[in-house]
Amino acid sequence: MAISVRDLLNLSLFGEKMLLVEKPEAYTKFENGINTGEVVGYKYNLVLNEYNWDKISVKIEGTTPTIKPEQINEGETLVVKLEDLQANTYVQNNRVALSFKAKAINVVK
């Protein structure tokens, strides 16, 4: 039986709470390798403060950001929690890479 990269990635190790460190950025739809310009979601850059302080980018679909850019002040962070975090593997430049998406992101009060 072959080892799957997906089996090696245990997302529960990331912790439940993460730090949002930058304003969300829109991402657009691609069709047949061409950017349509249509905003289909937002990318959130997070620091995994419970997992070696690594940084990941998580995409969340939607036409408006859940966390507005004005909620994030320069040099400050927000504690957030993701709903249904998923990882996908892909190959880029002959290397295995990961992309992350979630159903929702919420500020922890």
How many domains does the chain fold into? 1
CATH number at residue 70: 2.40.50.390
Model confidence pLDDT, tens digit, residues 10-30:
788 788 899 999 999 999 999
- Read off the pTM: 0.85
Which band of pLDDT confidence, cut at 50, 70 and 90, is reported for residue 52?
A: confident
Domain interval for residue 87: 5-107
Residue 94, sorted as left (phi over 0), alpha (psi -120 to 50) or beta, turns out to be: left
